[in-house]
């Protein structure tokens, strides 16, 4: 079995959707991990779901990045375990410096909730939803060498992200952070099932 842990913070609100999505993989054994836990078990993948951890106080993801569980997440990221951060999870990974860059307020200064089209480095196009107020990715020139672009927004860019970036991998390829929600693109009633393409691409690395 491929063992997956979904980390839950106060204010996470996409954890149940994420668990349901992951449970569609027959080979996955999915468990939950509370943010106050330490010395968490060594699993194959850890997922930081979307939501508004700690009500986005200070900055989106900042307080969650200081939770005890993040000590182990950081350690396992360095050990090569797969780490997936979705929306708020991406923000947490950036605040913890597991991934470079920051997620700033959308350039429209408005919360955006809609479908977007993404493409990867192989010009594979997919459709998935976004739902965020702080999704504008930015990094300095130095950090450009510390990640690989995973997905970009097809114009128009919804939030002003630098170079249309929607998601990034670390240089080792075992950590993925992205603002779009793959767990909202897999059911029959969803606009697409392209959430599988995001996760399968990550798992194949």
H or E, element range at 92 = helix 88-95
Say which of 14, 87, 94, 139 is annotated catalytic. 87
CA–CA gap between residue 86 and residue 68 (Å, rounded): 19
CA–CA gap between residue 126 and residue 1 (Å, rounded): 28
**3-state secondary structure string across 141-198:** CHHHHHEEEEEEECCCCCCCCHHHEEEEEECCCCEEEECCCHHHCCCCCCCCCCHHHH
Q: Is 181 a catalytic residue?
A: yes
Say which of 14, 17, 132, 183 is annotated catalytic. 183
Q: Is 22 helix (H, G, I), strand (E, B) or coil?
A: helix
Say which of 14, 132, 139, 181 is annotated catalytic. 181
Cis status, amide bond into 130, omega within 30 of 0: no
- Active-site positions read 87, 181, 183
């Amino acid at each position: 079995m491929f063992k997956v842990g979904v980390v839950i913070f106060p204010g996470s609100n996409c954890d149940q959707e994420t668990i349901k999505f992951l449970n569609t993989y027959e080979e996955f054994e999915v468990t939950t991990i509370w943010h106050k836990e330490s010395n968490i078990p060594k699993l194959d993948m850890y997922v930081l779901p979307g939501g508004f951890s700690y009500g986005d106080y200070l900055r989106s993801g900042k307080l969650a990045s200081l939770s005890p569980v993040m000590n182990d997440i950081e350690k396992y990221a360095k050990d090569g375990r797969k780490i997936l951060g979705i929306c708020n999870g991406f923000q947490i990974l950036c605040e913890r410096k597991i991934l470079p860059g920051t997620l700033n307020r959308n350039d429209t200064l408005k919360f955006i909730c809609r479908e977007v089209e993404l493409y990867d480095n192989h010009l594979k196009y997919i459709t998935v939803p976004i739902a965020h107020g702080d999704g504008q990715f930015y990094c300095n020139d130095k950090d450009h060498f510390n990640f690989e672009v995973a997905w970009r927004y097809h114009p128009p860019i919804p939030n002003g992200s630098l170079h249309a970036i929607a998601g990034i991998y670390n240089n080792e390829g075992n950590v993925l952070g992205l603002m779009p929600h793959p767990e909202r693109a897999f059911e029959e009633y969803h606009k697409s099932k392209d959430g599988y393409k995001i996760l399968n691409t990550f798992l194949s690395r």
